[in-house]
Structure 1
Amino acid sequence: MSTFAINRRQLLQTGGIGGLAVALSAMSSGTAQAAPARTTTGAPQITDLGPAVVQFSLMSSLLVGDTVYIGSRNLNPVRVIGYHLPTGTITSRTDLGSGYSIQALAADSTGRYLYAGVLRDGIDGKPNLYRWDLSTPAQPAVGVGETGDRDIRALAVAPDGKVYVAGGGLTTNAPSLWEYDPATNAMTSWGIPDPGATIAQAVAATASHVYFGTGSTLGGGNGSSPGRLFAFDRTTRTSTNILPAEVATGVSVTSLSVLNGQLGVGVKGPGKSVLINLANHAQYTIIPKTGVMFRQLGNDVFFVKEPGVWSYNMVTKKITQILTEDVGAMWGLDVYGSKALTVSSYDVIEIDPVAKTAVKHDLQQAGAPGGPQLCMGLAAGAGDVYVGGTGTIARHQLATDQVSYLRATGEAKDAVVVGGVLYTGQYNSRGIYAYDPATGQLPYQVAALPAGQNRPLDVCWDAVNGLVIAGAQNDTGGGGCFAAYKPSTTQVITKVNPIDALQMVRAVATKDGIAYLGGDNIYATGPRSTVVAWDPVANQELWRLDPGQPQGIAAMAIHGKFLYGMSRKAAGLFVIDLDTRQVVHRGDLSAVCTDFGALQVSRGIVYGVSDTTVFRIDPITFAVSVVVADINGGWYSGPHITADEDGLLYTLRGPNLVRIDDQQAMQTMRR
């Protein structure tokens, strides 16, 4: 999601720091946690099950000398660690004072100064660019400046030491190119070269030029600009779009790397990459494969195209895969001696490009400092509660208080347990995954989604047809898709844009073999919140209703003949009578939510969770009442709530997994 559920800087303020020692002890598979603490004063009964997901997760890496510096993801505080290749250990660490993840790292030409740029929730007056003096690694990194954009996605340091910054963050504001001058400590905008862009993901610098890659994502489409590559003259600060016509239909320039006389250019969309002559931008070579993070060793240009690392020989024009194992997402690529070096979500990986072999160095075993992580999806059943993290799924076995970690590429954005088997909607472009604890096999893909439908948003189970139902979003083109997977036959059914070309399928629910799809339109025009009744077997629409909400649908649930819908941005509750196909109730939710949320039926009542509150909806009057105030869950992809077979509810309070038994309230509300 482009807007997250909570201010991530509040994560450990809600209890994570005090529980950090316990959390770290749970990092290895099968480690027992302390006995859960219970809140017993009054109803409901709340049981604290400990940190939901604990690990060191990462989003960037850069080789400087013999050390790989790695930027963290969704941890508080955000941190950079140094992995020393000769000793295989973590030898340094610095924490930054703002942000929730580090996507951008760059070093100056001397190798003394490492710059880090952070992603953050908003423009808050704090630095988002930091500098770490690697000659004195015990001294913390210092904030040196704040750009006028929310996020920093890429950094480059010119030979004279000036730093160039790309980012963006708000789809309503086109990104600027920023320059930080360490001599004067000044942060200067070079302007917005493309007012139609929604993000800048790449930047590179030479003595004469700065290269700035723009495009659209997460709020793109619907008339936003395609990918463009601007070459800025560093003397005049004027720019020219130099992206070749062969890749001009791409949605975003995603990577820029200065090589030996050439600029490696990654572009999302056209299935091609480019090497542009730095001395003459009109001269270029097309590589017939998408790639990012280009590095050169002799005549070979290495690049990442998941699930592998590839080599393009500039003489023979041959493309060879040098890392064939699917190691998941990769967050950096460098050349180390005669080898290629990459960092996955779990390992530092040395690749021999000739032998096509790889040696992996486990970051956890090396001492990477983990902590409670912001969480993704949530599901409960068969005695387990599963919580999605980045590159992992935490399995909480309730009977033994054991927590184990299942490596799963990407992020489990939502999930459901059916017959003891976990099914997840797996971002990025990983479709539907399955995990059966009876087999011990790690989670694996059972269903792919159509091209571009990269972000699953909601998952539910259709018991009548035996289908896992999922709704998804196309981050770059707009719209979304419906998907259904039948475990008994492995059949996959999909439909792109079942609502319309703008509305993603934000929410899914099912009743009597009919799937209900809830739309969310993040653009300025068009329907906001359409509900579509969908035949998942025939794969066709049955009917639709626009409840007339001013914002998109955040969540849906069905109980009896009523479909309950929760609108985004506190735009309210609506209830549809599925027999009459009429909206029978609208209510205010502004007292219990601000934006994203989730709904769950348990013991005959519809429960909801927002970024702040767990609440219930009376099944007769539809009145809303608070179950747990100030829940303040540590969510990354919006709040979730689920229930097990006994009707016990599970969600997060701060970074911790909690179980809620609302039995007393249930007894008083039943009619």
Structure 2
Amino acid sequence: MEKSNISRRSVLQVGGAASLAAAIGLAAGQPASASTFLGSKPKATEILDLGPAVVQFSLMSGLLVGDVLYIGSRNLDPVRIIAFHVPTGKVIGQTELTNGHSIQTLAADASGRYLYAGVLQKSTGVLPNLFRWDLNSLATKATAIGRIGDRDVRDLSVAPNGRLYIVGGGSPTAPALWEFDPASSQITSLGIPDPGATLARAVAATDSTIFFGAGSTLNGGSGASRACLFAYDRATKTFTNVTPAEMLKDPSIRDLGIVGDKLMVSSAGSLENSKIAAVNLSNPTTYVQALSEGKTAKNFAAIGDKVYFANETGLVAYSLSANAISAMPYQGPSLGEIWGVDAKGGKLLVTSGYGFVAEIDPATGSTKTTDLGEAGAPSDPQSVMGIAAGAGYVYVGGNGVIARRSLRTGQVNNMSAPGEAKDAIVVDGALYTGQYSGQGIWSYDPRNGKPITQVADFPKEQNRPLDVCWDETNNLVLVVTQADTEGGGSLWTYDPRTGKKGFFVNPVDEVQLVRAVASRDGVAYLGGGLPDLGGQGTVVAFDPVNGKELWRIDPGQNSGVAALAVQGKYLYGVSRKGSVFVIDLPQRKVVHQADITSVSYGFAALVTNRGAVYGVSNTHVFRFDPKTFEVATVVADIDGAWYSGSHINNDEDGYLYTMRGRNLVRINDHPRR
């Protein structure tokens, strides 16, 4: 992110008291030291802890068992499952798990006694990623039952005979189908049906057949497999490809569900909308299919002839008899990202990523909602996404929420926003975010009293914003992205004055995503790379108005670009393998390279502030000398709780904002001139 474009006068008009309070260290109610007052010699570096950045019960799964809706948390520490009693609208129990950061999937056995949970993890290792909770005793803690070889558990299904089947991904190998036998407590790999798949997100089990759905949801392109559905015969121990022909071009199978004698199958949409198929369980090669609405189709729940499921904007109904899709009538607040759809008493229970449960009458759309925090769910600090600051506020992105913190009062308000604000900037007092997944650019202005809204949309396959900056010459918001399912990436542009948007696909090449962007004199500098650490990281100088490449250079890092920033005539870049390179822009050549693995490796972010370029990694805040380019540590062991890569940003007063653990911190640093 680049520095917010706000004049000193506008700050005094909008939040002058906030700026002054922050300057003397009073924004969080802490006493100011003598060195913070005007006329005193400042300390080299001052750090002010502003408290937890984003606090909300964040969730990623929901499953109804009897009268209780079990909900798995997301990005909370420790990860947990809560038990929400539907008739009373109260949380009646919870359990904490010993590993993982999120729970994307839950499954119960046929008796309703045992609830299984699989977790997403930060790294591979020996810790368990499968757990079981005895629902007959909610006061008893869930126990670990072992681990599958894939890092992340994405879906679970319990067969009628009690065996548990598991799929996931996140490891260097292609995803396998796994089985847990509760009689022997053994976890076994049943094989890898498609070595070209990058992620498996769907599994459904009968006593005789296990259905395995996978594809290229992450790290698509470059020869990765597309949607694939396999039937595993338990008797012969063989896989048969039964992918509906209409889904073969889609990136992946998104979800599976058994409804009577049918297997409901959905594909993840990208260049086309999602598709729905009703497959005959007795003969999986026969089916009917229909084109759905939107690019997401997940969480099947049946009431009579209708099978309901979620897309990215709400609920959709599929008629089994008519093989037809229709939007479900709905009256109520935005449901955001939906993580659970269940049927109870002729109504639908929807678990919303916004932190509430909605009970919906599918005939009329009438809705009753219960806020989970008010119902007793614990609200804890999340790991976070992007940070932006300016005009007296700091904004921090979480899952389905953006926290707005006033620097004048310290008050924090949570704003619901779909998906995740991966990165953001403040321009003339207004916030602009790049929203994942495929949500485009959203904006919020605290002065007009309106909620955050989408101001520009782009092709849905360009789904993962990675960096946002401001082009002050052309007055454009610039956002660069990764196309998860297709490979490559894009540059988005948005003019806040006119509302005009621009879109340029694969400005680096057809393989490299665009991870970083910086701007100088109307030129956008784009940093390319691959999803992993290796590969070429090309830097492209690009005209964001006319969509033309001006020149390009390979910095020779043998690694993708993690971040870019401009100071004076120099473009600074940090690679994902922990090196810095500096390009003299007028000369168009690299004039400095160095190893900085002591302070940065992997994801990183850069920002220009007070005449120097600052950076943050998962471990350190650092800066570069503007004359020698030497790196210096500003804050060691920052260890921010980031969900998808570290971020740092500044406000018009030169304060830096980043994370230390799960708390937001403000850094006041004075580089030597």
Q: How do 1:188-203 residues align onto structure 2 when only pairs under 5 Å count? A: 188-203=188-203
| Counterpart check, 1:653 vs 2:660 | yes
Aligned twin of 1:320: 326
State whether residues 130 and 145 of structure 1, in contact with CA within 8 Å, keep that contact through their aligned partners in structure 2. yes
Query: Residue type matched to 2:46 in 1?
Result: Q
1:38 positional shift:
7.8
Residues 156-177 of structure 1: CA deviation (Å, up to 9, x unaligned): 000111000000112x310110
Hey, what does 2:10 align to over in structure 1?
none
Counterpart pick for 2:283 among 277, 280, 283 = 280
**Partners in 1 of 2:77 and 2:32 — Cα distance?**
25
1:408-431 deviations in whole A, cap 9, x for unaligned? 111100000001100000101101
* Native 8 Å contact 1:222 1:523 kept in 2: no
Q: 2:539, 2:32 → 1: CA distance?
A: 40
**Residue 620 of structure 2, aligned match among 613, 616, 621:** 613
- Residues 1:100 and 2:94 are matched in the alignment: no
1:262 aligns with 2:269: no
Q: Would the alpha carbon gap of residues 519 and 37 (structure 1) be closer, same or farther in structure 2, given more than 3 Å must change?
A: farther
State the Cα distance separating 1:323 from its structure 2 match. Answer: 4.8
1:137-148 matches, cutoff 5 A: 137-148=138-149
Which of 596, 606, 609 lines up with 1:599 in the alignment?
A: 606
Give SS of 2:373's match: helix
Question: Retained in 1: the 8 A contact 2:533–2:577?
Answer: no
User: Are 2:289 and 2:323, in contact at CA under 8 Å, matched by a contact in 1?
Assistant: no
Give me the whole-angstrom Cα distance separating, in 2, the residues matched to 1:167 and 1:33. 44
Out of 299, 304, 307, the residue aligned to residue 293 of structure 1 is 299
Give the Cα separation in 2 of the matches to 1:299 and 1:399: 56
Which among 392, 395, 398 is matched to residue 386 of structure 1?
Answer: 395
1:101-140 to 2 correspondences below 5 Å:
101-140=102-141
Please give the residue correspondences for 1:580-595 in structure 2 after superposition, counting only pairs within 5 Å.
580-595=587-602
Amino acid at match of 2:209: H
Instruction: Check the 8 A contact 2:533/2:560 in 1, yes or no.
Output: no
CA RMSD in angstroms comes to 1.7
Q: Distance in 2 between matches of 1:80 and 1:467?
A: 43
Distance (whole Å) between structure 2 residues aligned to residue 245 and residue 400 of structure 1: 58
Structure 1 Cα separation of the partners of residues 120 and 251 of structure 2: 21
Aligned partners of 1:98, 1:608: CA distance in 2, in Å?
30
SS in 2 for 1:190: strand
* Aligned residue in 1 for 2:22: none
Letter in 2 for 1:103: Q
- Kept in 2, the 8 Å contact 1:112–1:135? The answer is yes
Answering whether residue 492 of structure 2 is matched by residue 486 of structure 1, we say no
**C-alpha displacement of 1:356:** 2.3
- Report if aligned partners of 1:33, 1:50 keep a CA contact under 8 Å in 2: no
Matches within 5 A, 1:12-161: 35-36=29-30, 43-161=44-162
CA distance in 1, matches of 2:30, 2:316: 48
Instruction: After TM superposition, give the deviation of residue 524 of structure 1 in Å.
Output: 9.6
What corresponds to 1:470 in structure 2? 479
1:303 and 2:320 equivalent? Answer: no
In the alignment, the residues of structure 2 paired with residue 37 and residue 358 of structure 1 have an alpha-carbon distance, to the nearest angstrom, of 48
- Among 400, 406, 409, which residue is 1:397 paired with? 406
Moved over 3 A (4+): 36-42, 323-326, 522-525
What is aligned with 1:354?
Answer: 363
Q: Kindly provide the amino acid, as one letter, of the partner of residue 621 in structure 2.
A: V
CA distance in 1, matches of 2:329, 2:381: 31
SS at match of 1:246: helix
Quick check: 1:182 aligned with 2:176?
Answer: no
Report deviation, 1:35. 2.5
User: Out of 542, 551, 555, which is 2:550 matched to?
Assistant: 542
- Gaps (5+ residues) in structure 1? 1-31
1:631-662 per-position Cα deviation (integer Å, ceiling 9, x unaligned):
11111111111111111111111111111111
Q: Distance in 1 between matches of 2:28 and 2:186?
A: 50
Determine if contact 1:98/1:118 at 8 Å carries over to the other structure.
yes
Deviation sequence 1:65-88 (CA, Å, 0-9, x none): 111100000000000001111001
After superposition, the C-alpha distances for 1:414-451 in whole angstroms (9 at most, x for unaligned) are 00000110000010110100001012222111011223
CA distance in 2, matches of 1:50, 1:508: 30
CA distance in 2, matches of 1:413, 1:366: 29
The verdict on how the C-alpha distance between 1:472 and 1:460 changes in structure 2, with shifts beyond 3 A counting, is same
**Distance in 1 separating the partners of 2:192 and 2:252:** 16
Q: 1:38 to 1:278 in 2, by over 3 A?
A: farther
- CA gap of 1:524–1:347, structure 2 versus 1, over 3 A, is closer
Deviation, structure 1 residue 205:
0.4
| 1:415 partnered with 2:424 | yes
Could you tell me which amino acid in structure 2 is paired with residue 67 of structure 1? V
- Residue 36 of structure 1 deviates from its aligned partner by 4.1
Structure 1 residues 653 and 524: alpha-carbon distance in aligned structure 2, compared to 1, 3 A threshold: closer
Question: How far apart in 2 are the matches of 1:662 and 1:34?
Answer: 18
Query: Following the alignment from structure 2 to structure 1, what is the Cα–Cα distance between the partners of residues 323 and 150?
Result: 39
Alignment CA distance shift 1:397-1:523 (3 Å): closer
The TM-score, its normalising length taken from structure 1, stands at: 0.92
Distance 1:37 1:502 in 2: 52
Q: Aligned-pair distance for 1:340?
A: 1.7
Q: Determine if contact 1:516/1:531 at 8 Å carries over to the other structure.
A: yes
The answer for the alignment partner of 2:205 in structure 1 is 205
User: Secondary structure of 1:364's match?
Assistant: helix
Superposed displacement of residue 43, structure 1: 2.6
What 5-or-longer segments of structure 2 have no aligned partner? 1-25, 36-41
Mapped partners of 1:477, 1:109: distance in 2: 39
Q: Is the 8 A contact 1:38 1:48 kept in 2?
A: no
Q: Does structure 1 conserve the Cα–Cα contact (< 8 Å) formed by 2:27 and 2:407?
A: no
**Separation of aligned partners in 1, 2:660 and 2:261:** 53
1:523 Cα deviation after fit: 6.6
**Identical columns (%):** 53
1:37 to partner: Cα distance: 7.7
Q: How many residue pairs end up in the alignment?
A: 632
Partner letter of residue 198 of structure 2? T
Query: Per the alignment, do residues 33 and 148 of structure 1 end up closer, same or farther by CA in structure 2, a change over 3 Å counting?
Result: farther
